[in-house]
A and B are shown apart, each in its own frame.
Chain A
Amino acid sequence: MTNHHTDTGRSLTPDASAALDRAGLTRRAFLKGSGALVVSFGAASILSDAGIAPAVLGAQRLDGAGSNQLDSWIAIGADGRVTAYTGKCELGHGLYTAQTQLIAEELSVPFDRVTLVQCDTELTPDQGTTSGAQSHPTNFNRANLAQAGATAREALVRLASARLAVPVEQLLVKDGVVSARGDAAKRASYAELVGGRTFNLTVNPEARRKHPSEWTVLGTSTPRVEFPSMVTGQFEYVHNVRVPGMLHGRVVRPPSVRATLISVDEGSVQALAGVVKVVVRKNFVGVVAEKPWQAIQAAEKLKVTWSSGDRLPDHRSFHDWLRNEKPTRDTLVVNSKDVDQNFSRAARVVKATYLYPYQMHGSIGSACAVADVQRDRATIWSASQAVYPLKSSAAMLLDLPGDRVHVIFRMASGCYGVNGADTVSYDAALLSQAVGRPVRVQLARKDEMAWENYGQAYVIDERAALDADGTIVAWDHESWSATRGGRPGAASPGNIVTGMLAGFEPAPFAPRSPAPDPAGFANNSNAAPSYMTGTVSGRSGGTGTIRSERVLTHDVPSPFFTGPLRSPARLQNTFAHESFIDEVAALLKADPVDYRLRHLRDPRLMGVIRAAAKAANWDTRPSPRPGIPRTGVTSGRGMSCVLYEGDNGYCAMVAEVSVDQDSGRVGVTRLVMAEDCGPISNPDGLRNQLEGGALQGVSRALLEEVIWDDEKITSVDWRTYPPLYLGADVPQMVTVLLNQPDANAAGAGETSVTVAVAAIANAIFDATGARVRQVPMTPERVKRALGARG
Chain B
Amino acid sequence: MAVIDHDVELRRAGANVRGLGGALVHFVRRYPLGAIGALIMILFITTAIFADQITRYDPTSTNPRVSLAPPGEQHMLGADFMGRDVFSRIVYGARISLAVAIGATALGCLVGVTIGLLSGFFGGWVDLIVQRLIDIMQALPLLVMALIMAASLGPSLTNTIIAIAIPLVPNVARVIRSNTLALREMPFVEAARAVGMSEARIAVQHVLPNTLAPLIVLGTAQFGSAILVESALAFLGLGVPEPHPSWGRMLSESAAEYVRTAPWLVIFPGIAISLVVFGTNLLGDAIRDILDPRQRI
A binds B: no
A contact set with B: CB distance below 8 Å: none
B contact set with A: CB distance below 8 Å: none
